[in-house]
Structure 1
Amino acid sequence: MKCRNLNAGVRKLGPAIAAAALMAGGGQAAAAPVSLTLDFSCPFPLIGDQPIRAEISADIPATATVGNPTPEFEVTALTVVNEDSRTGLKLVGSETVEGSAVSYNEVVTQSRTLDQIVNLSIPQTPIPNETGEFTVPATGNAPAVTFTDQDVGEAEIRVGALSLSLIARTANGDIAPAPIGEIDTDCTQLAGQNNLLQTIMVEGDVVETPRIAVNREEVAFGNVQAGLTEQDTITITNTGNAALGINGISIAGADSIAFMQTNSCSTIAPNAACDVDVTYIPSGEGSQTATLTIASTDAENPSVDVALSGNSVLAPVPEIGVNPGSVDLGRLLLGESSSAQVTVSNSGNETLLINGISLTGSDASEFTQTNNCTTVAPDQSCTIDLAFTAGAVGVSNAQLVIASDDPENPEITVPVTAEGYEETGSVIELLLALEGSTYIKSSGSTLPLNGSIATALDLASGTFEADLAVDPTVGNFSIKLLFSRLNAVANVEFEQAEMTTGTLINGELTANSHLYVKVPRVALKLFGIPFKVGGGDQCQTIEPVDITLTSPEGSNFSPATGGNVSGEYTLPPLENCGLLTDVLNQFLTGPGNTIDLMLTPEQ
Structure 2
Amino acid sequence: FVATPSSLDFKGIKVGTTAQKTITIKNTGEAALKISKIVSNKAAFTVSPATLEVAAGASAKVTISFKPTTKGAQSATISFTDNAGNHTVAVKGKGTVPKFAATPSSLDFASVKVGKTAQKTITIKNTGEGALRISKIVSNKAVFTVSPATLEVAAGASAKVTVSFKPTAAGAQSATISFTDNAGNHTVAVKGKGDKPNAIENVNASQVSIYPNPSSGHFFVDVPNAGNLQVMSLSGKLVETKKLQEGKNEVNINKPGVYLLKIAGKDFSVVKKIIVK
Structure-2-length-normalised TM-score: 0.39
Give the structure with the larger helix fraction: 1
User: TM-score, length-normalised on structure 1?
Assistant: 0.19
Larger relative contact order, structure 1 or 2 (CA cutoff 8 Å, min sep 6): 2
